[in-house]
Structure 1
Amino acid sequence: MKNLLKSKKVISFLTTLSLSITLLTGFPLITYAQDNVKNFDIVEITDFHGALTDSSGNPAAAVLAERLNNIKKSNPDRTLILGGGDLYQGSATSNIMKGVPVQEVMTKIGMEVTTLGNHEFDWGLDTIINTTMKGAGYSIICSNLYDKTTGKRVFEPYKIITKDKIKIAVIGGITTETPSIVLPDFVKNYEFKDLTTEINSVAQEIKEKKLADVTLVLVHEGDNRDNATGPVFDMANNLKNVDAVFGGHTHSKVSAVATKTNIPVYIANSYGKGYVNAKLTVTNDKKVKFETPSYEKSYVALDNENGYKSKNPNIDNDIDKIVKDSNERTAPITNEVIGRNTDKDLTRVQEFSPYGSSILGNWSTDVTREAVNAQVGFQNNGGLRIDIPTGDITVGTMWKFMPFDNTIYKLNMKKSDLKAVLEQAVCDGGKGIQVSGIKFTYDSKLPSGNRITNITKEDGTAISDTEVLTTAVPDFLATGGDGFTAFKNCGGSNPANDTHIIVRDAFIDWCKENNKNDNKNTIPNASISRINNISNTLATKTAA
């Protein structure tokens, strides 16, 4: 009883002292009561894709670092920086150096953990583990990737990070779509298990063993680009014992709540264009609360005049040095001017919806076909990564446009084989395709699998049922990538059909050979309709 009276007297004294100081100085005294709440900044960077600078050379990484430094300074020991995967593959400097400069940037920024993205398989996981991540200050986590030989997880499923005495568990995961969008040879030894099942299992273990006060999910999985639906929301609506989800993969800006579970869901755009800063509050009795997600509160854009497009942007000098040193090392390769674009941006915008021809799709398939002297050429939409702006076209431009080391397969295909491929392109859930040497018509209102109504040569000449056409196909498609299994039936599974000509090298060589000195575009900027949807009017669609 005496101790209770003493406690009440102390509280009364502190309250009186606080009020007295407030009255005398005009400034309130921060009292012991506020120690009951700890406020955290949970920052996500995702799908960075090697964007040390943007396509115009603006200092994307250095500006990002400066912003995050300010957050850490304002909230020391309560800032956690996460990576949502696909960090390295996508720019000439990063690709040539196998992602090392990006890893050095993320380490310097203070990233503490990243999940695994599908593009981390583009060089093979051995390269990521033994080269890219060598000396990294952060680690990779992934709960649903298993080695088929051992039956064990390839990476640790989660990591516990302590911030100001609060234990935060971060569970990693990768989209189960990965095997269909990565070169099959690089994923053949791995099993991608169901995300929801694996995450719930890990989260239950963390809860039962009382390993953490906060449990976050960090997955390379995305939405339907609508901030409301899609795989990441489907997953979040079926999770248990999880406080928030940070996603990626779809290059979208997401800041919303899963409707069934009320779990906050975030995705931080791509290419260093911005980041998510989610505000987390933890009380002394370990009650966890995230600020209601919204673009205004959670997402910070950097691809504007207040960010890295400013005339005099605020940058982190250490990061700027890493970027400049790396660019200087690769400059003899990347800075070579091989062409020019004097008219307007060369785009991947497709002429018809949901699938049609594009200017760069037509050009890329023409070049691929000509490189191996084939009659038909194909290119997957997702393999073309940027529109090409006006100005000089450099080797570095081509690395950004086609960052993948795909080689050209040369296959023999009949009209029935072409139809099988095109049906897969325009089926429900299809990804479309770009073509050269042929043109085709489809009807999107017909049943999936029976939508191709006509295929001819590009000049309108008919293709007989028995005619065999030589076809140029990137190895990604030839071996069944993006769901194009029909190519495998035409020799795509046979390495003997690989010409070992890298698609990107074909583009570079073509530009060099066609570079004009008369101030005209090197790459043709004329739209040629090779794909027509008879159930749709003209529309625009850009490849993802």
Structure 2
Amino acid sequence: MTKKKAFLTSAVTAAAVAAAFAPAASAATPTFTDVAPQYQDAVNYLVVNGITDGLTPTTFGTDLHIKRVDAALLIARSLGFSEKSPYSKITYKDVPARAQWAVAALKDAGIMDGKNSETFDPNAPLTRNEVAKVLVNAAQLGVDDTVKSTQFTDVNSNFAKFVDRLVEFEITQGKNATTFGATDAVKRGELALFIARADGLLNYYELMVMHTNDTHAYLEKAPYRATAVKEIREFYDNTLLLDAGDVFSGDLYFNLFKGQADLPLMNYMGYDAMVFGNHEFDLGDDTAGHKELADFVKGTQFPMLGGNLDFSKDPAMKSLEIQGFTDTPVVGKSQYGTILTVNGHKIGVFGLTTVETPTIASTASVQFLDYIKSAEAAVKHFESKGVNKIIALSHLGFDDSVRYDNDIELAKRVEGIDLIVGGHTHSELKEGYVSNVFDAPTLIVQAKQYGDLLGTADVIFDKDGHIVDYAVELIATNKDTFEADAGAAAILKPFADAVAAKKAEPTKAVAEVALPAPRLDATNTTDSVRANETLLGNLIADGMLATAKSINPATSIAFTNGGGIRAGIDAGPITVGEVLTVMPFGNALGILELKGSEIKAALEHSVAQFPRENGGFLHVAGMKFEFDPSKAAGSRVTKVEVMENGAFVALDDAKTYFAATNTFTAKGGDGYSMLGAASAEGRLSEPGIVDFQMFIDYIESLDKVNPTIEGRITTIGN
């Protein structure tokens, strides 16, 4: 993990402290008769930017001591805190109504406290010691707790570290070489000067956003992720941990525990929010609704976000839905969005789930609403609350089919979203993606899949809530980079033991013959899973086709890459562990809409390297083809037939077919650019069913597992 503690200072403060401050050119410059030249620019800056007013149209009160309550108002406004935002209720009984929001904001942020739990002492003058502490806290400059004294003899040990830091940044200086004037009351002009000098520090806020997506119950690496999260929290003051959906479906941890293995680990790590992914709806029932999902939501110690979802007709989920936004997170419930408070700063976070979900999951009676309108409503709501830092927690997909929705389109069409934390497409955005369609940028991040990576987005906001700088890093969470967190490992152990036992169990299927996955070597020079039709390749392709047909009955063919078949299966009872060894990557089902000509081009690519082995060699179902390896690559396929109404007929180059494959191949893996292009054009549907589970379900449905070589792939010529 690359630690960037000095990121804020290096990116912003050095330049800000050196830069001259100036009022907005469009505002009228005030004229006060009592402002000395050394204070003029600072006073103008505060008044022009709406931070404070003069005492009268011609008098600022430069030499008057400023009260603690008035200082709180100035500091809160300088930091960009809004009077509209919801803050914690203060216990001080002496704060006037006009300043309660400012005092509450500063207390929430740990910037300014009262004299005790019940008294703020609003009319007392603010001392120079106090202003040093307040400004250092406000600017998040950090202090060295070992500093107990300074060059100034009148600064006691309680304030030394704050004065030391403020002087280091040249925001103030002593009355002379040895005297700071520690207990002197600060004048209005002096505070104006301090705030103006610190403007470059006060107007920026650094937030470290950690994020995961599409973990799919792959929990073996969760203890390493827990360690990474702890280390980052120790290193950064302001952090969030978000999940962009698809915790459900994938590994055996889900098949056995239906989300209840993920839940205690996510609670332990302290996730701040999660959006519903499409796979969270895989177990829906038309009558009972989403019982397993409801059990998961009820156990969360963080809010679930469904900004474009309507659960009102779902029997299991309707009681767990808040149809609207919440000012503070409501855990164990679904809400459109919520306001997360991080050291006093309000962050608006809302969720979006792909509207493609009803076509690729069992959504039952859950309604999916327009994602653009839902996002616009979220931005409008947060802005009405005075919240200007807005995050979309998205399970739309980074560059998924625009006919449904995706993050790039969201950033283009909805103004006001600063950060999109995404999932669904399993995209590895190593450097993030920035959309500059509007005046303020939108940063999009995503952290691949299966808990392999912890995404981090270290972002700096200005006072208007716009991102002015950022650093993105995807951190590998495994034993090579982190020690396993003991607490997380203890939580995982009983679930891991059950999974290990399950892997040793036989499926309900028995292989009547051995199903090898041969590779060429010194003793085998003829048969290869990466060059020839094989029993196991046929069986896997048949299972893929059968599953795809259950989702889209128009699917007529299937093909799967030989490189994804990593081992064979012995004759006899087939264990779960064997299946996972055959297909260890957790590839998911995809259904492509292709022209016959594109299918033929894919088959040409499949056999282009024959007789050499090729991981992209395709095993097929619902079709058969012949090729002549003596011809030039790209012109080898001589005949292609597809099954229609129980008989094979010639492939029609102009006809459209639905073809099942895995999403790796569908998106252009192994050099299948023609498939990748179709996917990019929005002709790919991703039901998301994982290959090993699809295979197990299929072989368990057969009367016997006894595939044969059927001449699906035939070589002709020499």
Q: TM-score, normalised by structure 1?
A: 0.62
Alignment partner, residue 180 of structure 1? 359
Report how far residue 439 of structure 1 moved: 2.4
Q: CA deviation at 1:377?
A: 9.8
Are residues 1:504 and 2:678 paired? no
- Give the whole-Å Cα distance in 2 for the aligned partners of 1:427 and 1:200: 41
Residue 455 (str. 1) matches residue 641 (str. 2): yes
Q: Which has the higher strand share?
A: 1
2: CA distance between counterparts of 1:526 and 1:67? 51
Residue 29 in 1 paired to residue 29 in 2? no
Q: Which amino acid aligns with 1:61?
A: A
Contact 1:278 1:291 (8 Å CA) reproduced = no
Q: Does 1:2 align with 2:2?
A: no
Task: Report if aligned partners of 1:333, 1:395 keep a CA contact under 8 Å in 2.
Answer: yes
Does residue 198 of the first structure (1) align with residue 198 of the second (2)? no
Q: Which residue of 2 aligns with 1:231?
A: 406
Query: Is contact 1:245-1:265 (8 Å) kept?
Result: yes
Kept after mapping to 2: 8 A contact 1:160/1:168: yes
Segments of 5+ residues of structure 1 without an aligned counterpart are 54-59, 407-421, 442-452, 465-472, 475-481, 486-500, 515-522, 531-544
Residue 217 (structure 1) aligned with residue 392 (structure 2): yes
Aligned residue for 1:412?
A: none
Q: Residue type of the partner of 2:308?
A: N
Instruction: Label 1:105 to 1:359 Cα distance change in 2 as closer, same or farther (>3 A).
Output: farther
Q: Secondary structure at the match of 1:2?
A: coil
1:69 Cα deviation from its structure 2 partner? 0.9
Q: Tell me the distance in 2 between the aligned counterparts of 1:28 and 1:359.
A: 77
1:298 aligns with 2:472: yes
State the distance in 2 between where 1:173 and 1:378 align: 33
Does residue 439 of the first structure (1) align with residue 620 of the second (2)? no
Shift of residue 167, structure 1, vs aligned partner: 1.3
* Partner residue in 2 for 1:127: 291
CA–CA distance in 2 between the matches of 1:195 and 1:429? 32
User: In the alignment, is the contact (CA less than 8 A) between 2:265 and 2:488 conserved in 1?
Assistant: yes
Identical amino acids, percent of aligned pairs = 20
Q: Read off the aligned partner of 1:73 and give its amino acid letter.
A: E
Q: Which residue of 1 aligns with 2:417?
A: 242
Matched, 1:65 2:239: no
CA contact (8 A) 1:47 1:269 kept: yes
In 1, distance between residues paired with 2:593 and 2:130?
A: 73
2:218 to 28, 41, 51: 51
Number of the residue aligned with 1:146: 310
CA contact (8 A) 2:593 2:684 kept: yes
Please state how far the C-alpha of 1:176 moved relative to its aligned partner. 1.7
CA distance in 1, matches of 2:300, 2:131: 52
Structure 1 equivalent of residue 455 of structure 2: 276
User: How does 1:362-511 map onto structure 2 within 5 Å?
Assistant: 362-366=538-542, 387-390=564-567, 394-396=575-577, 398=579, 424-426=593-595, 435-439=620-624, 455-456=641-642, 462-463=648-649, 504-507=696-699
Per the alignment, residue 342 of structure 2 pairs with 163
Change over 3 Å in CA distance of 1:324–1:171 after alignment to 2: same
Q: In structure 2, what is the equivalent of residue 322 of structure 1?
A: 491
Looking at structure 1, the residues matched to 597 and 280 of structure 2 have their Cα atoms a distance apart, in angstroms, of: 27
Cα separation, partners in 2 of 1:391 and 1:286, compared to 1, 3 Å? farther
Counterpart position of 2:653: none
- Residue 607 of structure 2 corresponds to none
| Cα distance in structure 1, aligned partners of 2:458 and 2:255 | 34
Aligned partners of 1:434 and 1:217: how far apart in 2?
A: 41
Q: For 1:483 and 1:398, locate their aligned partners in 2 and report how far apart those are by CA, in whole Å.
A: 30
1:42 aligned residue: 209
- Residues 268, 275 of structure 1: 8 Å contact kept: yes
2:489 aligns to what SS in structure 1? Answer: helix
Displacement of 1:388 after TM fit? 4.9
Check the 8 A contact 1:341/1:389 in 2, yes or no.
Answer: no
Tell me, in whole angstroms, the C-alpha distance in 2 between the residues paired with 1:142 and 1:378: 35
Indicate yes or no: 2:254 matched with 1:94.
yes
The offset of 1:131, in angstroms, is: 2.4
Q: Does 1:332 align with 2:506?
A: no
Aligned to 1:520: none
Q: Secondary structure at the residue paired with 1:81?
A: strand
Unaligned runs of 5+ in 2: 1-61, 67-124, 137-148, 154-159, 172-197, 325-332, 508-513, 521-528, 548-553, 603-617, 627-638, 651-658, 661-681, 686-692
**CA spacing shift, 1:455–1:20, aligned 2, 3 Å:** farther
1:112-154 alpha-carbon deviations (Å, 9 max, x no partner): 2111111111112623433233422122111112358599689
Query: What displacement does 1:344 show?
Result: 6.4
Letter in 2 for 1:29: D
1 CA distance for matches of 2:486 and 2:475?
21
Following superposition, the deviation at residue 287 of structure 1 comes to 4.3
Tell me the number of residue pairs that the alignment of Structure 1 and Structure 2 aligns. 424
Aligned to 1:492: none
1:105 CA displacement: 1.2
Counterpart residue number, 2:78: none
2-side partners of 1:438 and 1:92: how far apart?
32
> What is the identity, as a one-letter code, of the residue corresponding to 1:42?
V
Deviation at 1:327, TM superposition (A): 1.7
Alignment check: 8 A CA contact 1:377 1:436 kept: no
Q: Which has the larger radius of gyration?
A: 2
The superposition leaves residues 508-529 of structure 1 with CA deviations (integer Å, 9 ceiling, x where unpaired) of: 6889968xxxxxxxx9999964
Cα displacement (A) at 1:266 = 0.8
Partners of 1:115 and 1:277 in 2: how far apart?
A: 17
2:367 partner SS: strand
CA separation in 2, counterparts of 1:44 and 1:342?
Answer: 38
Partner of 1:308: 478
Contact 2:556 2:622 in 1 (8 A): no
In 1, the alpha carbon distance for the partners of 2:152 and 2:648 equals 94
TM superposition shift of 1:237: 1.2
2:243 alignment partner in structure 1: 83
Distance 2:202 2:256 in 1: 49
AA at the equivalent of 2:385 = K
CA-CA distance at 1:265 after TM superposition: 0.8
> Secondary structure at the residue paired with 1:100?
coil
User: In the aligned structure 2, how far is the partner of 1:139 from the partner of 1:48?
Assistant: 18
Q: CA deviation at 1:200?
A: 0.8
In structure 1, C-alpha distance between the alignment counterparts of 2:598 and 2:392, rounded to whole Å: 27
Q: How far off is 1:326 after superposition?
A: 0.1
Structure 1: distance between partners of 2:711 and 2:215: 31
Residue 92 of structure 1, CA deviation = 0.7
1:301 aligned partner, one-letter code:
I
Change (3 A) 1:463 1:129: closer
The question of 1:111 aligning with 2:271 is answered yes
- Alpha-carbon distance between aligned partners in 2 of 1:133 and 1:49, rounded to the nearest angstrom: 16
Distance change >3 Å, CA 89–CA 502, structure 1 → 2: closer
1:264 aligns with 2:443: yes
- Offset, 1:46: 0.4
**Residue identity in the other structure for 1:299:** E
Measured at CA, do residues 512 and 132 of structure 1 come closer, stay the same or move farther in structure 2, by a change above 3 Å? farther
